[in-house]
Amino acid sequence: MKKVLTYGTFDLLHWGHINLLKRAKELGDYLIVAISTDEFNAVKNKKAYHSYENRKLILEAIRYVDEVIPEHTWEQKIDDVIKHNIDVFVMGDDWKGKFDYLKEYCEVVYLPRTVGISTTKIKKELLLASQK
Ligand code: C2G
């Protein structure tokens, strides 16, 4: 069984996330998603609208996702790859090159980011709309 691993906040889930998860799953048979905890999001200077528990609930409902684990630190990736027997590590290409150190442990794939959508864009446009 070919196992795939990816990381992210996945807040206000949108079609860019789904495109990423769909293509990640197509690279293997089993997809694990490590979702940033609320505490780790603070380290990433991100404040998710949905809590970790609710982002986990949402991700677990997606047909491409087989397992959801917490992302607590930047440094846990090597341990995760080894512990979960990962064959392929996947991220959107806004992270291109950042995780090449994992090539010692598994395949590293950066997938083209979906243009035209982001959680930040959603938040900005909703805020503007509410001010009209
Ligand atoms: N993504 C994408 N297209 C978009 C938006 C996001 O392909 N329009 C991808 C990102 O490249 C990432 C994944 O969806 O691979 C999750 O995006 P975020 O939730 O923004 O994750 P991020 O904050 O980049 O966290 O240790 C890694 C970090 O946890 C990544």
Share of the chain above pLDDT 90, in %: 100
Asked whether the beta carbons of 4 and 34 are under 8 A apart, the reply is no
Distance 35 CA to ligand 1 centre (A): 10
- Summarised one tens digit per residue, pLDDT across range 43-55 is 999 999 999 999 9
- Summarised one tens digit per residue, pLDDT across range 84-122 is 999 999 999 999 999 999 999 999 999 999 999 999 999
Distance 1 CA to ligand 1 centre (A): 25
pTM: 0.97
Closest CA to 5 of 53, 77, 55, 59: 77
